[in-house]
Amino acid sequence: MSPVVVLVGPPGAGKSTVAEDLAARLGLAFRDTDADVEARAGVPVSEIFIDHGEAHFRALEEEAVATALAEHDGVLALGGGAVLSDATRALLAGHRVVFLDVGLAAGVSRVGMNGNRPLLLGNVRSQMKGLMDRRRPLYDEVARFTIVTDDLAPSQVVDQVLRLV
Ligand code: S3P
């Protein structure tokens, strides 16, 4: 078994919303590795970061991604930093990965609506810029398709994914 589509991209790209809509349109299940990590740890991602640090979260995330890639056959959304792992990027090579891209302004305005992101505390704009600059090559490396989501509603992103995959 293998996911039909795997969505990657920075926070604010709309991965979870699009994954859920896309799965509903395809009549498939939706899975999100952040939710898998939280279910396993029994606490929110932000608490894992605070209590155990980012490295611990990344280890849990790497395991959650490997498990989901092996056993989930619906739509899968990865946490924004999952591509930082060499092992995860290697695993993604065999999958239909879509990079949901977003520019800085749209990304910042979308994450502004959700404060549960430990890596974006403080100056959200400069944190987001650094994160996007560092990760863009990694998203590009794993992606088979890229969709720029800035001016699109989630349902329009879903339309584009369905055309591509
Ligand atoms: C992270 C993104 C978050 C979550 C964690 C770390 C990141 O997921 O995994 O806070 O490093 O970009 P979303 O991309 O769903 O916000």
CATH number at residue 102: 3.40.50.300
The terminus-to-terminus CA distance of the chain in angstroms comes to: 17
Report whether residue 75 contacts ligand 1, using a CB cutoff of 6 Å. Answer: no
Protein residue whose Cα sits closest to atom 15 of ligand 1 = 79
Is 142 within 8 Å of 83 (Cβ atoms)?
Answer: yes
Nearest Cα residue to 128 out of 140, 138, 120, 118: 120
What's residue 165's pLDDT?
Answer: 86
What is the number of structural domains in the chain? 1
Residue nearest to atom 2 of ligand 1 (CA): 80
- Tell me what the mean pLDDT of segment 91-106 comes to: 95
Angle at 68 between CA 113 and CA 26, to 5 degrees: 70
**Boundaries of domain holding 127:** 5-164
In this prediction the pTM is 0.95
Closest-CA residue, ligand 1 atom 16, reads: 11
- The answer for residues whose C-beta is within 8 angstroms of residue 69's C-beta and 6 or more apart is 2, 3, 6, 76, 91, 92, 95
| pLDDT of 117 higher than 90 | no
Pocket of ligand 1 contains residue 11 by CB under 6 Å: yes
Question: In terms of C-beta density within 10 A (0-12 exposed, 13-18 middle, 19 or more buried), how is residue 26 classed?
Answer: middle
Query: What 8-state DSSP symbol labels residue 74?
Result: S
